[in-house]
A = this chain, B = another copy of it.
């Protein structure tokens, strides 16, 4: 039988803090029972408990209590962890000819793959630009670019060829994303840091994220590929970002210690995202979030930006 309204002592015991601390949190941070008349006992509803739970988890992760309280106070609905569905079935590409298996990614992907195969930079750019203008960054990446790049990568792994195709296409995608980022105006200071893991030289997905962030007006700092850990730490301590996204493409570059190091800097970022297929969920340090796809990464970044916009400058 669930609790309808917990007393201060019960909540304190449940959270593992002193009762006085609950009172302090209430009067210092405004983090208390939603309806409470002075002089009367506090009654914590489940919604209040959820807020306090966020507070406890963030402080336990090392976030400064003031920031944690701000984050907890106006936490909208709990983060849509693991948005279900998203069935990313990969049909066996039984395409054996001179083309690229793009699965059911649609005719545009097939056209793009063909243009890439013939090293036709102009057609590549045209296709990407068109889809980008129509569908936006996220859809273009997930529905067009990633399938084609993955397809070329698989064929390249199998035949040890097509490297020039991969290079040219990557280059075109990179340029397009850069142009997209440059065209969009961002609001507010850059509070999100994008970086590849140490030795990770695959930065295209991170560029997609950058373009997607720019598209929705979120400022960011992009460090690019092959960022040594000390450099990353230095950048974090010097700029104090609200969120850090660390991309790892393969397991070889996915040293969880890098993430752990991010959590131990003086003013640690509120959110640390481990992005990319390199990371393994069970080896990630506590407090690190692992977005499943580009859309979720963007959503999280936007959430952080919004919640920090109306706080003081950390």
Chain A residues in the interface with B (C-beta under 8 A)? 1-6, 9-11, 13-14, 16, 118-119, 121-122, 125, 161, 163-164, 167-168, 170-171, 174-179, 181-183, 189-190, 195, 201, 219-224, 227-228, 230-232, 234-235, 238-240, 267, 309-314
- B312 lies within 8 A of A223 (CB): no
Chain B residues in 8 Å Cβ range of A223: 164, 167-168, 171
Per assembly, the copies of the chain total 2
Name A5's contact: one of B122, B125, B174, B312 (CB within 8 Å).
B312
Name A310's contact: one of B2, B174, B178, B311 (CB within 8 Å).
B2
- B224 lies within 8 A of A171 (CB): yes
Name A235's contact: one of B119, B201, B228, B314 (CB within 8 Å).
B119
Chain B residues in 8 Å Cβ range of A195: 167
Rounded to whole angstroms, the CA-CA distance of A227 and B163 in the bound complex is 8
- A181 lies within 8 A of B189 (CB): no
Rounded to whole angstroms, the CA-CA distance of A16 and B190 in the bound complex is 11
- B179 lies within 8 A of A232 (CB): no
